[in-house]
Amino acid sequence: MELTLQGRRAIVTGASKGLGLAIAHELVREGAQVRICARSAEEVDSAVAELGELAGGRAVDVREADQLASFIEWAGEDMGGIDILVNNAGGAHPGTFETLSEDALLADFNIKVLSWFRAVKDALPWLKRSDAPRVINIGSVFAGSPDYRFLSTSVNRAAGLNLTRTLAQELAQYSILVNIVNIGSVRTPQWANIHALRSPEKSAEQFFADQSAAIPLGRFGEPDEVSGIVAFLASDRASYISGASIDVAGGGTI
């Protein structure tokens, strides 16, 4: 399928490794320029070298409004515009209502909701000038299938889902398409934290085998099984899709 992303200009947050890096790779393979950010300058430099000449990046903490705004302005000027914004940066404080602190809940809100809000605000002037503007948020199936053991993620991902839907409604007047991809059990570095929380007594092999047994397809997803959906949503083939919530979870929840 020809996705016609040649010449498009994309930002991917949290893209130095894992799912974000896979998304950046997918967009580059389709011919888009990509600018990435993550907190570690060393990891950003390594990812940019891996992505090649169509890529660039900066070390940015998306929880810091000034850093995020500066990065988006730099990326827009460096590429001569912004057509695609992928909000992928994440992180979580696992815990139940009784164990989770208020500070942890607010920290997760900052990175999972407020950073999306700010990024779209900062990119909006650039997106309005694009011929094919897209915002694609990377969420979680916890948004619709909450788990009390991950209260903060469940609450904040639901907020992100509705932020996406309301943005799709409001920004339609500018022909800006806004969608969300909700991931389930996809192999990312974050699963090491989940393993440590849920079953520290089990080996990684046994933990993943047990988790896979609960997934209808019987296995974890791979990052490139998500990145392809993101590239499709960024393309002209998805020109009438906005406000959509797409689960990539093997038929199940986490």
> For residue 128, what are the CA distances in angstroms to 57, 80, 176, 194?
23, 13, 7, 39
Catalytic residue list contains 240: no
Residue 189: how many CB atoms within 10 A of its CB?
Answer: 9
Q: In what order do the strands lie in the sheet with 84-87?
A: 55-59, 33-38, 9-13, 84-87, 134-140, 177-183, 245-248
DSSP 88-133: -------B-TTT--HHHHHHHHIIIIIHHHHHHHHHHHHHHT-SS-
Q: Which residue has the tokens 């988006």?
A: 72
List the catalytic residue out of 7, 97, 99, 148. 148
User: Which residues participate in catalysis according to the annotation?
Assistant: 148
